[in-house]
Amino acid sequence: MKKTTFIIIAILILFPSCVTWKTLNKMGNEVVDKNEFYTAFPFTLYNNESIHINTYWGSNNELKVLKLDNHAPTAIDEHLIGNIQQVQFIGNSILKKRTPDGKGIPNKIYYYDEGIRLGDITFHKVVLNAVPDRTTRNDMGLLGGNLMEKGIWKIDFEKREILFTSSLDSIADLKNAEIIESKFTFTNSIKFKVQLDQKMRHIFEFDLGYNGALILPKKDFDRFHFEDSIKSSLGKMGTAVGAQEAHYFFVENQMFEIGDKSFTSNIMANDLNKKLSFIGLGFWKEFKFIIIDYNNKKFYVSKELKQ
C-alpha cells in the first residue's frame, strides 16, 4: 500500500493538474497496424539540411510533408490542427517547447487515431504536439521519436531512400555496416561518448533535427584542446519554435573517437546554447547509410562514406 501511494504521489508531482489522466493514458501508446512490417519510401534532403518525408493522414489520405526528427515528439503546424478531422485536444504538457535561448513556451497536446500512413504501414493512437508556423521550413510538422521508436530505420543518403522495418534480418546490406558504441536510454534517446581530445570525453545525443555536425555548450567547448585554430562567425540557431542570431565558434575537420572508431567532422558551439550537445544530420549524412535499431538498441553506420 505504501509503495502504491508513493507512486501516485510521485506522478501527481511530476504532472500538474493541467495534464489530465486522460492525457497520461494516451501518451506512449502509439502502434503500427502490423506486427511484422517492411516498407521503403523516398525522402527529400531539403536544402541539404533536413529529411522530409511524405505522410498520408486519415481515410482521405491527405498529404502532409513532415521533417524526420528523432529528438522531438511527432508534431503538426498549429495552424493546420483545425483542419484535421477527428483530432482531439487532450491537455498541456509539463515539458515546454524551447526557444534557442532556452525559454519555455506552453506545449499543447493532441490525439489522433484516424491513421498516419508512411509507405505501406499506418500509425494509430498518435499523440501530437503543436508547433508554430512551418511554412518557411517547407514542411508541415515533425515525425518524431514517439513513432520512430516503433521499429528499425535504415536511412540511405546515397539513394535518398528510407527503409522502416520490424526485423533487422530484412536489411540486405547489413554486412556493409558496423556498430558504433551508443546507449539507448529508457526514453529511447541515443547517446554517444565522444573522445574529443587525448584527455577528455563528452556525451552527445543523436539528433536528426539538428542540421549541423557536432555542437556543444560554449563552456564545454572551451575545455577541450583542439589542434586546429578556432574560427568564429555569425549565424542562426533554430529550434521547433523559431530561430535567433548567434555567435558561433568552431573547428573544422576535427578528429574524434566514438568507442574504437575514429571520425572527422566540424565541431562547434555558440553563445545561446547553454545545455545541449548533439551529433546532427550534418555528420550522419556523410555516410552512405545509417541504421537506427530501436528494437535491439543498436546503432550502425555504413563502412564507407558517401561518394
Q: Which residue has the higher pLDDT, 306 or 294?
A: 294
Contact 143, 69 (CB under 8 A): yes
CA distance 108 to 78: 9
Single-letter residue type at 112: Y
Residue 160 located in a structural domain: yes
Mean pLDDT of all residues in 92-114: 74
Cell of 260: 574504437
Residues 58 and 164 in one domain: yes
Contact 180, 259 (CB under 8 A): yes
Residues 143 and 123 in one domain: yes
Residue 236 located in a structural domain: yes
CA distance 84 to 112: 9
- Give the closest residue to 278 by CA, choosing from 208, 188, 230: 208
Residues 180 and 253 in one domain: yes
Residue 46 located in a structural domain: yes
- Give the closest residue to 152 by CA, choosing from 239, 88, 70: 70
Contact 269, 260 (CB under 8 A): no
Residues 161 and 35 in one domain: yes
In this structure, the number of other CB atoms found within 10 A of the CB of residue 90 comes to: 20
First to last CA, the chain: 62
Residue 7 located in a structural domain: no
Mean pLDDT of all residues in 290-305: 97
Query: At which of 148, 170, 192 does a domain end?
Result: 170
Query: At which of 136, 170, 204 does a domain end?
Result: 170
Number of domains in the chain: 2
Instruction: Quickly state the pLDDT bin for 19 (edges 50, 70, 90).
Output: very low
Lowest mean pLDDT among 93-102, 123-132, 197-206: 93-102
Residues 261 and 121 in one domain: no
Instruction: Quickly state the pLDDT bin for 119 (edges 50, 70, 90).
Output: very high
Residue 1 located in a structural domain: no
CA distance 179 to 2: 44
Instruction: Quickly state the pLDDT bin for 1 (edges 50, 70, 90).
Output: very low
The string of DSSP codes covering 40-52 is EEE-EEETTTEEE
Residues 212 and 270 in one domain: yes
Mean pLDDT of all residues in 246-263: 94
Residues 145 and 188 in one domain: no
Query: At which of 121, 150, 170 does a domain end?
Result: 170
Spatial neighbors of 277 by CB under 8 A, at least 6 apart, are: 202, 203, 204, 205, 215, 216, 217, 220
Instruction: Give the CATH number, domain containing residue 256.
Output: 2.40.70.10
Strand partners, 16: none
Instruction: Quickly state the pLDDT bin for 235 (edges 50, 70, 90).
Output: confident
Residues 227 and 92 in one domain: no
Residues 70 and 180 in one domain: no
Mean pLDDT of all residues in 139-166: 97
Residue 106 located in a structural domain: yes
Q: Where are the alpha helices (DSSP H) in the chain?
A: 2-14, 21-26, 145-148, 218-221, 281-284
CA distances from 46 to 78, 139, 196, 207, 211 (A): 21, 9, 30, 16, 11
**Position 62 pLDDT exceeds 60:** yes
Residue 3 located in a structural domain: no
Residues 81 and 153 in one domain: yes
Give burial (CB, 10 Å; 0-12/13-18/19+) of 211. middle
- Give the closest residue to 215 by CA, choosing from 253, 244, 249, 257: 249
Q: Provide the residue range defining the domain that includes 141.
A: 21-170
Cell of 100: 534557442
Residue 50 located in a structural domain: yes
Residues 228 and 159 in one domain: no
pLDDT attached to residue 123:
98
pLDDT attached to residue 57:
97
Cell of 23: 492525457
Residues 25 and 148 in one domain: yes
Instruction: Quickly state the pLDDT bin for 238 (edges 50, 70, 90).
Output: low
> What is the pTM (predicted TM-score) of this model?
0.88
Contact 234, 248 (CB under 8 A): yes
Instruction: Quickly state the pLDDT bin for 17 (edges 50, 70, 90).
Output: very low
Compute the 3-state secondary structure of the chain and give helix, strand, coil in percent, each to the nearest 5.
15, 50, 40
Q: Which residue has the higher pLDDT, 18 or 124?
A: 124
